[in-house]
Structure 1
Amino acid sequence: MKNNLTITTIQTTLHWENIDANLSMLGQKMLGIKEKTDLIVLPEMFSTGFTMNAAMLAEQTKGKTVRWMAEMAGHMNAVITGSIVVEDQNRFYNRLIWMRPDGSFETYDKRHLFGLGKEDDTYSAGAKKLMVELNGWKICPMICYDLRFPVWARNLKDDPYDLYLVVANWPERRSLHWRTLLPARAVENQSYVVGLNRVGNDGNEIYHSGDSMVIAPDGTVLYEKSHEEDIQTLELSGETLEFVRRAFPFLKDQDGFEVQS
């Protein structure tokens, strides 16, 4: 039987384009977590807010924020994930870091760039999914706008992931879409889904209502929080995941497909 997985989500406001203030604030929040957890989830661009000012704020992949993540992951003895602004070979990326307690890490570059916000004018798109394993769980982490593209997130019948994870700066004005798409991803992929969003106004006076959610593979909402900061630790049931896939073996009937870059 598959082990359970314990996750902690940190829904928070962010200090606009202030890396040091955000790292200090998030460090204090993490040190206040009392429960033992396997995974701590931070928002998209958690060190800056959703900014197009990459030339001023971008760090190297092994820069200050990544070193901070390594230190905090070691201290908490948990994986820490979230995305930051990175410069790599003269290009800017909205890059998710999957930081392990031993200081090793994986990365995922946001595939779908938010054209309405001109993200594609500043950042380069990623080309590869990231699949990681934690406590016997296979996890597929993605970033914000990726949520709108189900083919990119589609589970595979022969080697399915167990948890679809989305970190975001998703505006309140489109919160209906967020709250609709997250359960849809859970049901169609028969996986747990964690959607972690920020709250509050950013530097462009765009309001974010949070609406962070944890959803079971049958679509049941296990956790949801709107409009306020919140730190939540939940245990995801391996037994429930296996039961849903055994009782309703829908993945085996899916169409084959190939995503073109």
Structure 2
Amino acid sequence: MNIILLQTDIQWQKPNENRTQAETIIDTLPQADLIILPEMFTSGFCMVPAEVAEKAGSVTLQWMQTIAMKKKTAVAGSVSVEDGGRYYNRFYFVKPDGSYTIYNKKHLFTFSGEDKEYAAGDERVIVEYKGVRILLQICYDLRFPVFSRSRGDYDMIIYVANWPAVRIDAWNTLLKARAIENLCYVAGVNRVGNDPGNGYSGGTVLLDYMGKSIVSAEDGLENAVCGKIDMQTLKDFREKFPALNDADKYRIIN
């Protein structure tokens, strides 16, 4: 599977401009199976959702569906959404036929007050696409390994983020940890640029199951990179090094 990671410079609360800029970049890229955008890629990490949230199923989802069908690729990223009178940091995974899966961010970033403005999701979501089982995660979820611990049910994790430069070492380290401990591919897609509260340096990367970089974006710059994952290689490694079979048995009680 060929995967494009878009490390964008998100303009603050300017959804039209951010969609246009993302589409401009996408139009220059080679054909791929999956395109991944950062967290809240239309607005930036905004804690006043009344100013930026879209109705469920509205403009940005339709835009993602159009891109997916036009390019014959899956498109993924998170958006601030209002649904049933509540706000969610919602991950959309849109397939080439326009069908989609949603994941509402489970771990809300209390340090920024996200928990006061958004409702937390309560489901762990895995989507299957082209023979790859993909766990959907958003930013702060990265710090909680129990929630994302493999039960032998996925092959790759996607983390989309607005992860500030001041804490980028944690991002880099934890992405590798999630890949190594779960024997899986990890795609971490972060933004660059600035918002009213933080600066962002990127750190966008595709890792293999040993935590080694397959491809990475240049720090500090808006750019896109393409990397490839191979399911047979992953299967062979898991059979040769069956650490997941020795994992502790557990269950999560909400």
**Structure 1 contact 45–83 (Cα < 8 Å) conserved:** yes
**Structure 1 contact 69–99 (Cα < 8 Å) conserved:** yes
Looking at both structures, which has the greater relative contact order when contacts are Cα pairs under 8 Å and sequence separation is at least 6? 1
1:254 is matched with which residue?
247
2:18 is matched with which residue?
22
2:36 is matched with which residue?
41
Gaps of at least 5 residues in structure 2 are none
Q: Distance in 2 between matches of 1:224 and 1:71?
A: 27
2:207 to 215, 222, 235: 215
* Structure 1 stretches of at least 4 aligned residues deviating more than 2 Å after TM superposition: none
Aligned residues: 253
1:50 is matched with which residue?
45
Q: Distance in 2 between matches of 1:222 and 1:104?
A: 29
Q: String of CA shifts for 1:69-118, please: whole Å, max 9, x gaps.
A: 11111111101000000001110000000111211111000000000011
1:111 is matched with which residue?
106
1:244 to 234, 237, 250: 237
Residue 173 of structure 2 is aligned to residue 200 of structure 1: no
Residue 169 of structure 2 is aligned to residue 173 of structure 1: no
1:161 to 154, 165, 185: 154
Per the TM alignment, residue 224 of structure 1 is displaced from its structure 2 partner at its CA by 2.5
**Structure 1 contact 218–244 (Cα < 8 Å) conserved:** no
Question: Structure 1: which amino acid aligns with 2:210?
Answer: D
Q: Distance in 2 between matches of 1:173 and 1:138?
A: 32
Q: Distance in 1 between matches of 2:41 and 2:232?
A: 33
Question: Structure 2: which amino acid aligns with 1:186?
Answer: A
**Structure 2 contact 215–226 (Cα < 8 Å) conserved:** no
Per the TM alignment, residue 32 of structure 1 is displaced from its structure 2 partner at its CA by 1.0
Per the TM alignment, residue 56 of structure 1 is displaced from its structure 2 partner at its CA by 1.7
Determine helix, strand or coil for the equivalent of 1:185: helix
Q: Distance in 2 between matches of 1:133 and 1:99?
A: 11
TM-score, scaled relative to structure 2: 0.97
Q: String of CA shifts for 1:130-189, please: whole Å, max 9, x gaps.
A: 1111110100010000000000100013xx311011000000000010010001000100
Most deviating of 112-121 and 233-242 = 233-242
**Structure 2 contact 214–228 (Cα < 8 Å) conserved:** no
2:64 is matched with which residue?
69
Percent sequence identity is: 39
Q: Distance in 2 between matches of 1:139 and 1:190?
A: 13
TM-score, scaled relative to structure 1: 0.95
Residue 107 of structure 2 is aligned to residue 95 of structure 1: no
User: RMSD of the TM alignment (CA)?
Assistant: 0.9
Q: State how 1:219-230 maps to structure 2 within 5 Å.
A: 219-225=211-217, 226-230=219-223
